[in-house]
Structure 1
Amino acid sequence: MTENKQISANSLFPRAVFSHQNGISWFVLFIGLLSTVFAGVYLIDREADAASREFVLLTDDITDAIRKRMIDHEQILLGGAGVLDASASVQRQEWRILVERLRLAENFPGILGVGYAKVLREQELARFEQEVRSEGFPDFRVHPQGARPLYTSILYLEPFEGRNLAAFGFDMYSEPTRHAAMRAAAETATTRITGPVKLLQETHGVVQAGILMYVPVYRQGMLLDTPDERMAALRGFVYSPYRMGDLLSGILGSLTPGIGYRLIDTAAGLDNPVLFSDLANGDDVASLQRTVELSLYGRDWQLEFNSTPTFDQRYNNSLWVFIVGFCVSLLLFVMASLLALRKQQAELLAGRMTKQLRASNTALRQAEERQRLVLKGSNDGWWDIHIPEMRFVASERAWEMLGYPALSDEQSLHRWQSLLAPDDRHALTQLLRDAIYSDQMAFSAEVRLSHKAGHLVPVLLRGAIQRDHQGVALRASGTMLDLTEQKRIEQMKSQFVSTVSHELRTPLTSISGALAIVNSGSLGDVPAAMSKMLEIAESNSQRLNHLINDLLDMEKLAAGKMKFEIRTYALRELVEEALSANRAFADSRNIDLVCRDFADVWVRVDSMRLHQVLNNYLSNAIKFSPEGSQVVIEVLHDGERVRVSVTDEGEGIPFEFQDQVFGKFAQADGSDKRKQPGTGLGLAISRELMEQMDGDVGFFSEPPNGACFWLSLPTERATEELPESTPNNTKRKVLVVDDDPMIADFIALVLRRAGYIPTTSISLHGAQLLLQQERFDALVTDLRLQDGHGLNLIRELRAEPLTGRMPILVVSAYCDEGQRLLHGDNDPCLAWLDKPVEEKKLLNMLDDVIQRALSV
């Protein structure tokens, strides 16, 4: 009987499925399938739109990267051209050092080298070949051979090794493609690149398409107004060869995930216009394609981009919507059919599902509420605190930051507090308490949390407060951002700034010194055509000098490495020094510097650092003052403190910028076209310097009625022995030691102008011989010399009774290293000055160390 009932039920089920009573089940199936179709079509459209936007962004990034790198390569060649312009003859060793300094393989992967091709007339060819052979290249010949009116032999190409050896002596002007680019560059005095060529460097391996970039170099003093005049004045070309595959790989690296591209030179008549292609077979029918035109240095390039299957696969998930939707619809249909067939079972199942649905809806509403609150922060990690019960919950990512497994249930707030670093616990608790019991709606704090492994993790906590209609705080929700990588990058940035700044010091001092010597007329009269350009070059080298000094001062202050020589000074003398130093700048802008009379007071400061702050205030006031106006400096003595203020008549500081004035790199006009140049570091450094000297800084401004910047210092009684007046330098003999002859000559020129009698030496041995033969009143020395270290010379002098108290001024880019090697020596007759040097600072430091030596 039971078996018969089972058979009957099985036979009735198919008929019940197609009966009118089961119509609701068919309606559910129809709605489910229709919803699946709509959802799938919507997702396909969204995926196509997202893929298209990402494709455009990636192709724009690739195009911009190629354009920017080619501009960088042009700057390299322009730098080489500048060296040739500055010197009548550049030796092979000098060219090698120049290129090594560029670190091409490290900073510009893909570039084969930087070279110089010399222009020769037919009558100059034999003498030129003989000169190169005499340098140690007995088999050198300009090739290809043959009589031509003009040759451009490759003379220098660094690195001079590997593939580059094949190009030595090659006449690039003899090959049509190179000839066209070189002639266009020479006639227009602009940078040009060639069409596709086969490079001489293709000596082994897979042959890649090649191009070359040329920058023309002309003989100084010749007319360059017309193409014929430029060709007549042509001296040579600074150039770089590129294997396009290696170049693009170095430029783009990992910038092309899922993107294939082809680079084509669109000029007509090319046998093989393709410069590079990584498109595989079949990529021409890719789902996404784009063509971008790129014009660079006289050539028109075309970039053809195709999406790859890897890229398309990331946006091809709509099939799962149809599969899942169909399965869900079929499942709902079966369930509805079962409900129609078995009413009692359906009612029981419906009751059970209703309970589950209510629980799910409750949990969903809570999750949506938390999500809504934390959307104000990032999705890096979120947390939520129920304030009345002081319980919290955090996301999986938040726990993962600290090395703990995710805890989805609510925890006591004490658990979270125990993870805070002891130094941060009280401050964060107080911040949260203040936010809860005030009308604040949001807060943020940077704290350190303990990782499970034992180290501290810096994080940024940002949160928002949810309150009821009476303003009582109910919840605090927000995000947690891991700052570990940001801190590491900040440290790397600081190290980078310090390293680059130090590497620039010596060459910048040499450049500034050379320009100063030329402009002074010590080497003869400067031609009128050059005078203005040399003055501009010297002015800009000084600007670069100030920039490097600002960066180094900021880095030293941040690292706590800046040393201060605190002594008691008469404030009047310091103010008058600052006014004197800026008066020429004010006169050049027709600005009147006015100092209100004041009773003299004494302050304990580092005179050089206070002068730096006053100079910054005064130069800023002069820069932002209109022509014919006044800049007023005023000193007010108020009890135990004295305030020095500098007031201008400029446009004032915009209200929206005033809270950023003393910040790093802060400038009211931050655009590339701002009227006044600067780094935005001066006021930030001034604030740090004043804090180190127990001082304060501030300002007030009511636009457009100018601005007033002030500094405040504690006063001192004049109980110490004050510095004596500057000694008379006439007939004082000073030995200047520096391995760079240009820097040595520059320092000697500065000293000679100030009344000293300088003698120079470019080696340690030479300095020792001079000290044995003659008595000097002071020594100015570099540290790293060709044949030894300046510290050895200092130790030798200190070991001798006659020179044990000789005034010594160390002028070097490695003063920190020297002071460390002397183990913090506090020799009063020894002073340190970082390169690059300024004339006034050099004289002040030398006068000061001589004065200290006389008083010992």
Structure 2
Amino acid sequence: MSLSPPSTIRQLLSRRNGIAWLVLLLSLLVQFITLLHLHRNESRAASQQFDILTVKASEAIRHRLLSHERALHGAAGLLAALGEPSQRQWREYVRNLQLQSQYPGTRQLGYAPVIGARDRAAHEARMRSELAADYRVHPQSGHRVHIPASHVEPLTKQAPVGPGYDMFSHDLLRRTMQRAARENQPRMVGTAGPGMQDEQPALLLYLPVYHGGLAPDTSSQRLQALRGFVYSSHHIDHLLQGIPDLIDHQLALEIHTSQGDGPSSPLYSNRDEASHDRAPRYSRQLPLDLYGQNWDLRLQSEPPFEKRFHSNEPLLAALGIGLSLTLFFYASSLGARNNRAEHLEQMTEHIQRNKQALRLSEERLSLALKGSNDGLWDLNLEVGTFYASTRAWQMLGYRPGELEPPPSLWQRLMEPDERQQSKIRLAQLMSSNTEYFATEQHLMHKSGMLVPVLLRGYILRDQDNRPLRISGTLMDLTERKQSERLKNEFIATLNHELRTPLASISGALGLINGGSLGPVPATLQQMLDIAQRNSQRLGHLIDDLLDMDKIAAGKMVFDFHAQPLPRLLEDALTSNQAYATEHDVRLLPAGTPDVRLWVDYSRLQQVLGNFLSNAIKHTPPGKCVWIGARLRDGHARIEVEDQGPGITQEFSPRVFEKFAQAGAPGNRNKGGTGLGLSISKELIERMGGRIGFDSPAGLGATFWCELPLHQQNGNDHQPGSPRLLVVEDEPDTGRMLHIMLHEAGYTVDRVQNLGLARERLAQTTYKAMTLDMHLPDGSGQQLIEEIRGTPGTKALPIIVISASHDADRAELPGVQWLHKPVFSAQLLNTLQQLVDKA
């Protein structure tokens, strides 16, 4: 029997429904407290985030101006080295600084010498011959000293100071320059007015330059020794462009400036007219002392920043009210059923408890998977079924059910080059006692791309240790790999940015230490030597970081040639002899077989240099370091043995890790970057070798590398037989192809890189050739294009032997693709078909 609306309302308002009303009241109270707590947390988080952004913005402004100050110091170094530069030298220097890209906001970089009234005519005559026929020092003033802008780059109409303008005649500029000269500190002034080439506010940053390159001790002596000023002009709007928190409109910035204790004046604002009438929720005022100017930064939050917080509160309030009403009506419905039979009520409660437990369990699992953004997979070995969750299929571009998954589907989805190795690893897991495993893998996306994933799983076994089921999760590593790539790009950019000031520092120190500027006191010479050594050490660190970046990005290029092993070791000894003499360590050669290696000379010297420098650093004075080589299993093993303390057992697993440095008790500080051995490992492995070390307790350490020998007998000529060219860098595969074709009656020439292949094609006529697409000095696709573009080889049959199924491989006439491993019958049949068609 259904209730009419009036009776339903009476039932809801009756005393019997008091529990439901109590539930509603408590639920609303809990929701209110929760929302209040959330609001306070959001406000606190917003305030903290705003404070962080304001500090970051002020630090960004400070760091940007510091970079411009370093440009002035570099110009001062140029003046110290060259004396009075010519206009061409100054123009080339400023052009090489790349002001627009490297120093945003800089409009002009100039030099203004101190000119006495008697020297004015001679100065004007020289500038007219070098710069412009109408050059003159202006405006006229009664001062005995003139400081005209004589070297100005770039020469633009928008530059605030033009050639010949006597900045000493301008009261504000004169006071600023005098203060900079007395204090030997860079000083900044904001100005616009008569004599300038534009009337817009500009910032001028001055750095004094003294005769002799060094500032005297007292202010009066500094004024007497003043040679002039290097200065830069900046447009404040351009100077602040590119600061992240200002670009994305999270912060509004106003800058007011004052000189010393003088009154403040507005300098910059990025607020539009519409935002002036809006009261910001967060604001902060920060003082900033920059080069004698007091900047007052007034930062306010913008709507994009404020919308990041408190935006979900109305939705949460609505959801909370809806949940409270739901609980209310649910409690009311339960109250209406109190008169039902006891056994039915018990059955209902039991069912509800089971459903709730199941729902909570499913929710926990679902939320956990959603929170981790991982996919779920399950392989049942007993019944031969395979299951993958929706998220797992989405990672690979498929919809659930789009593929009918047989148990072996996971093998088809693997990257072809990794498939065999993955099968071997899986077989090892099955035969071991391992329960949990984790491995990185590449899976094929529906579009043909490779998706890096992390497979983690659990192996369920029976009492006889036989695997019954494998279940686990699938994590997409694309973002992580991209983050690693961005990190490497950042390191490369940072290294390049460090080179500009380091080059100026090293060059200036080299000129001073080389005696170009005259004799230097002994005490000062010691400090200059320390500075030069540390600048060189910093240069080595930058080189190591760049090498690591090239290796990580796959941009390391190798130039392979056959190199005699004795000469390689002799050159390594010669290059490191001075370093050994400095540490009072003797370098001794050991036995070396007379063989040739197929290596990159400079890269192998880099590895041997790392071995020898480490051995020298860890060998006590008066002791010896040996370097030698011996043959082993078709390879040459190069060994460097020292007499140091050896490598501890705890540090042994980390020897070839990045930035790893041993810290054994009692060892002196050895210096270094901790990158040398990591780079050496990458270089040796990319040259087809392997690297390692032996360190018996207390008997020093022996670092070694094994490299393949150069095969000098790779070309066998059979009179009257067709001649073929094999281009393959992997030694075993090259020997296998050579044997197959030689036994079939062909004369075979074998090379290991593109450079040698080009030489052979230019010197010899071939019937056909085999080609590996991935070679040390480039891609085989490039060689195919060159062959097809050359009249003499345009129709040459080519068999491409690849380790992977290239989805975008070129379909060209006379080119046939074979997938490794290649069998003899398959290779010879394909070769015969191509030769017959040619």
Please give the TM-score of this superposition, normalised by the length of structure 2: 0.69
Q: Does structure 1 conserve the Cα–Cα contact (< 8 Å) formed by 2:256 and 2:295?
A: yes
Q: Which moved more, 1:246-255 or 1:633-642?
A: 633-642
Distance (Å, rounded) in 1 between the aligned partners of 2:497 and 2:572: 30
1:239 is aligned to 231
**Are the structure 2 counterparts of residues 366 and 652 from structure 1 closer, same or farther at C-alpha, using a change threshold of 3 Å?**
farther
Distance (Å, rounded) in 2 between the aligned partners of 1:508 and 1:314: 44
Matched residue of 2:561: which SS?
coil
Q: Deviations over 1:363-413 (max 9, x none)?
A: 5413423655787xxx454444365675343454x5555444577999766
**Are the structure 2 counterparts of residues 140 and 435 from structure 1 closer, same or farther at C-alpha, using a change threshold of 3 Å?**
farther
Q: Does structure 2 conserve the Cα–Cα contact (< 8 Å) formed by 1:395 and 1:408?
A: no
**1:17 lines up with 2:12 in the alignment:** yes
**1:476 lines up with 2:475 in the alignment:** no
Distance (Å, rounded) in 2 between the aligned partners of 1:81 and 1:524: 14
2:414 is aligned to 420
**1:111 lines up with 2:106 in the alignment:** yes
**1:172 lines up with 2:182 in the alignment:** no
2:798 is aligned to none
**1:699 lines up with 2:713 in the alignment:** no
Q: Does structure 2 conserve the Cα–Cα contact (< 8 Å) formed by 1:631 and 1:649?
A: yes
Q: Does structure 1 conserve the Cα–Cα contact (< 8 Å) formed by 2:187 and 2:205?
A: yes
**1:60 lines up with 2:81 in the alignment:** no
- CA-CA distance at 1:583 after TM superposition: 3.0
2:89 is aligned to 94
**1:212 lines up with 2:204 in the alignment:** yes
Q: Which moved more, 1:613-622 or 1:19-28?
A: 613-622
Distance (Å, rounded) in 2 between the aligned partners of 1:44 and 1:555: 45
Distance (Å, rounded) in 2 between the aligned partners of 1:565 and 1:509: 36
1:225 is aligned to 217
Distance (Å, rounded) in 1 between the aligned partners of 2:277 and 2:260: 25
- CA-CA distance at 1:243 after TM superposition: 1.9
**Are the structure 2 counterparts of residues 693 and 22 from structure 1 closer, same or farther at C-alpha, using a change threshold of 3 Å?**
closer
Q: Deviations over 1:131-156 (max 9, x none)?
A: 22233523333334312233322223
- CA-CA distance at 1:633 after TM superposition: 1.0
Q: Does structure 2 conserve the Cα–Cα contact (< 8 Å) formed by 1:191 and 1:215?
A: yes
1:723 is aligned to none
2:361 is aligned to 365
Q: Which moved more, 1:89-98 or 1:288-297?
A: 288-297
Q: Does structure 2 conserve the Cα–Cα contact (< 8 Å) formed by 1:24 and 1:336?
A: yes
- CA-CA distance at 1:614 after TM superposition: 3.0
Q: Deviations over 1:688-712 (max 9, x none)?
A: 5545666543224579985432334
**1:135 lines up with 2:130 in the alignment:** yes
Distance (Å, rounded) in 2 between the aligned partners of 1:163 and 1:157: 12
The one-letter code sitting in structure 2 at the alignment partner of 1:164 is A
Please give the TM-score of this superposition, normalised by the length of structure 1: 0.67
- CA-CA distance at 1:253 after TM superposition: 6.5
2:154 is aligned to 159
Distance (Å, rounded) in 1 between the aligned partners of 2:655 and 2:408: 41
The one-letter code sitting in structure 2 at the alignment partner of 1:699 is F
Q: Does structure 2 conserve the Cα–Cα contact (< 8 Å) formed by 1:391 and 1:410?
A: no
Q: Does structure 2 conserve the Cα–Cα contact (< 8 Å) formed by 1:601 and 1:715?
A: no
**1:593 lines up with 2:586 in the alignment:** yes
**Are the structure 2 counterparts of residues 200 and 282 from structure 1 closer, same or farther at C-alpha, using a change threshold of 3 Å?**
same
1:728 is aligned to none
**Are the structure 2 counterparts of residues 26 and 298 from structure 1 closer, same or farther at C-alpha, using a change threshold of 3 Å?**
same
**Are the structure 2 counterparts of residues 688 and 29 from structure 1 closer, same or farther at C-alpha, using a change threshold of 3 Å?**
closer
2:623 is aligned to 630
The one-letter code sitting in structure 2 at the alignment partner of 1:710 is W
Residues 162-561 of structure 1 aligned to structure 2 (within 5 Å): 162-164=157-159, 167-194=162-189, 196-198=190-192, 207=200, 209-220=201-212, 224-252=216-244, 257-265=249-257, 269-279=261-271, 285-316=279-310, 317-334=312-329, 336-337=331-332, 361-369=357-365, 372=368, 379=372, 381-385=374-378, 390-394=385-389, 396=391, 399-405=393-399, 417-431=411-425, 434=428, 438-439=433-434, 441-450=436-445, 452=446, 454-465=447-458, 475-482=471-478, 485=482, 489=486, 558-559=554-555, 561=557
**1:122 lines up with 2:114 in the alignment:** no
- CA-CA distance at 1:74 after TM superposition: 2.0
- CA-CA distance at 1:264 after TM superposition: 3.9
- CA-CA distance at 1:302 after TM superposition: 4.1
Q: Deviations over 1:725-750 (max 9, x none)?
A: xxxxxxxxxxxxxxxxxxxxxxxxxx
**Are the structure 2 counterparts of residues 305 and 541 from structure 1 closer, same or farther at C-alpha, using a change threshold of 3 Å?**
closer
The one-letter code sitting in structure 1 at the alignment partner of 2:44 is D
Distance (Å, rounded) in 2 between the aligned partners of 1:415 and 1:448: 11
Distance (Å, rounded) in 2 between the aligned partners of 1:509 and 1:534: 14
The one-letter code sitting in structure 2 at the alignment partner of 1:385 is D
Distance (Å, rounded) in 2 between the aligned partners of 1:327 and 1:694: 67
Q: Deviations over 1:634-677 (max 9, x none)?
A: 547576666554344556556665444435665569xxxx9656
Q: Does structure 1 conserve the Cα–Cα contact (< 8 Å) formed by 2:585 and 2:616?
A: no
- CA-CA distance at 1:456 after TM superposition: 1.0
**Are the structure 2 counterparts of residues 282 and 86 from structure 1 closer, same or farther at C-alpha, using a change threshold of 3 Å?**
same
**Are the structure 2 counterparts of residues 374 and 13 from structure 1 closer, same or farther at C-alpha, using a change threshold of 3 Å?**
closer
Q: Does structure 1 conserve the Cα–Cα contact (< 8 Å) formed by 2:616 and 2:625?
A: no
The one-letter code sitting in structure 2 at the alignment partner of 1:213 is L
Matched residue of 1:240: which SS?
strand
Report how many aligned residue pairs link the two structures.
Answer: 694
**Are the structure 2 counterparts of residues 509 and 255 from structure 1 closer, same or farther at C-alpha, using a change threshold of 3 Å?**
closer
Q: Does structure 1 conserve the Cα–Cα contact (< 8 Å) formed by 2:495 and 2:542?
A: no
1:37 is aligned to 32
Distance (Å, rounded) in 1 between the aligned partners of 2:347 and 2:242: 66
Matched residue of 1:463: which SS?
strand
Identity of aligned residues (%): 31
- CA-CA distance at 1:191 after TM superposition: 3.0
Q: Does structure 2 conserve the Cα–Cα contact (< 8 Å) formed by 1:129 and 1:142?
A: yes
- CA-CA distance at 1:562 after TM superposition: 2.0
**Are the structure 2 counterparts of residues 540 and 41 from structure 1 closer, same or farther at C-alpha, using a change threshold of 3 Å?**
closer
559, 563, 581: which one aligns with 2:559 = 563
The one-letter code sitting in structure 2 at the alignment partner of 1:460 is V
Matched residue of 1:249: which SS?
coil
**Are the structure 2 counterparts of residues 312 and 642 from structure 1 closer, same or farther at C-alpha, using a change threshold of 3 Å?**
closer
Distance (Å, rounded) in 1 between the aligned partners of 2:205 and 2:504: 31
Q: Does structure 1 conserve the Cα–Cα contact (< 8 Å) formed by 2:414 and 2:441?
A: no
Q: Deviations over 1:506-527 (max 9, x none)?
A: x989998x99899788x89866
Q: Which moved more, 1:353-362 or 1:91-100?
A: 353-362
Matched residue of 1:460: which SS?
strand
